[in-house]
Amino acid sequence: MGTGKRGLIATAVAVVCAVTVLAAPGTAFANPTPSPTPSAGPTPAAAKDLEAVRKKLDKLYRAAARATDEYNAAEEKADKQSAEVVALAKKIVKGQEKLRKLKDRAGAAAAAQYRGGGLPPEAHLVLSDDPQDFLDGAGRVREGHHATKGLLGELTRTQADLEQYAKDASAQWKKLEAGRKAKAAAQKKIEKQIAQAEKLESELQKEEQERLVELEKEAANKAQTAWLDSGILDEINGKASEQGKKAVKYATAQIGKPYQWGAEGPKTYDCSGLTSQAWISAGRGIPRTSQEQWKQLRHIDVQDMRPGDLIIYFEDASHVAMYMGDGAIVHAPRPGRTVTIAGAGSMPILGVVRPDAGAAAN
């Protein structure tokens, strides 16, 4: 992006994004001018202490984000396993009903033999004085043999199926219980990290809390500036697909809604809850967590990304945002924040994935 174009934008990040991207999509998301430091600002020692607090908070919230991914993954697995247990239970019920009917048929065949004096059909046939009866009966005996053999085989197979269904159901139930424990453990991790972060913030004076917010913005602005100065935005000019446009429209409509771990809307979201629901609204289901989105979706070079693509952040893929175009993203940042717009380079980029790989741009 040229310096003249960047010079058009000189206000704070959130305002610039909201006005620039939503009102005039053709204008690039440029690096905002840092907020002026109050003349009676903190002493260097105090500023250093606040910077340490900011880094500590970032570390705590990142740990909470990782635990949130663990929680979401465990929840997704639990939902699938619950559905599998229900499906197996239905198979068992149907199998038991089938086995009952087969046993009734086998019982009826045994009763018919008993009524014949306990002699098998072949014996009755040999004792017949009528040659024609003998010939007609021979066919019926063969049919009877096949039917009996088939009945016994079906009984055996049904019993084996029921045993396998029971084993599978037991195995799925154990997995379900393990998943619930993993989910509960992840929830404890999340709550612990967030509680520590909230305690740390609550111990700050009002002026310090305000300054902390400024420090967060300054750190994001610094990273965004470095990203833009690399010239990368000059190479990014991809056009969104129709589904990509719908996904971006959904995500931006959620701006201002609170972050909540494990949430998928419609009132609150976590980072991957926002991106997954945005793409579901566009007609394409994608993995629930940022880590699975990174693993399963098609990887795209940063310079080839287009609006609707997902940017995965940090080495552990613990955060995800949706690229809007012009160097901007929409994302759910962390607890205590709302869905907002930020610079695409404001956090360390791991890579980019495309939910609708193969779809034509428009």
Which of 307, 306, 269, 270 has its CA nearest to residue 291? 270
Write the DSSP string, 180-207.
HHHHHHHHHHHHHHHHHHHHHHHTS-HH
Place of tokens 């098609």: 298
Q: By the 8 A CB rule, do 309 and 320 touch?
A: no
Can you name the residues that pair with 58 across neighbouring β-strands?
Answer: none
Which of 272, 268, 269, 260 has its CA nearest to residue 336? 260
Tokens of 13: 């990040």
Conformation bin of residue 265: beta by default, left when phi > 0, alpha when psi is -120 to 50: left
Write the DSSP string, 232-247.
GGGT--PPPBHHHHHH
The DSSP symbol for 313 reads E
How many helices (H) and strands (E) in the chain?
9, 6
Active site residues: 271, 319, 331
Q: Is 340 helix (H, G, I), strand (E, B) or coil?
A: strand
Distances (CA, A) of 207 to 11, 34, 38: 22, 18, 11
Which of 275, 292, 286, 283 has its CA nearest to residue 329? 275
Distance, CA of 72 to CA of 80 (rounded, Å)? 12
Tokens of 261: 């771990």
Q: By the 8 A CB rule, do 233 and 1 touch?
A: yes
Distance, CA of 20 to CA of 28 (rounded, Å)? 8
Distance, CA of 328 to CA of 21 (rounded, Å)? 8
Distances (CA, A) of 160 to 106, 164, 324: 17, 6, 55
Q: Is 329 helix (H, G, I), strand (E, B) or coil?
A: strand
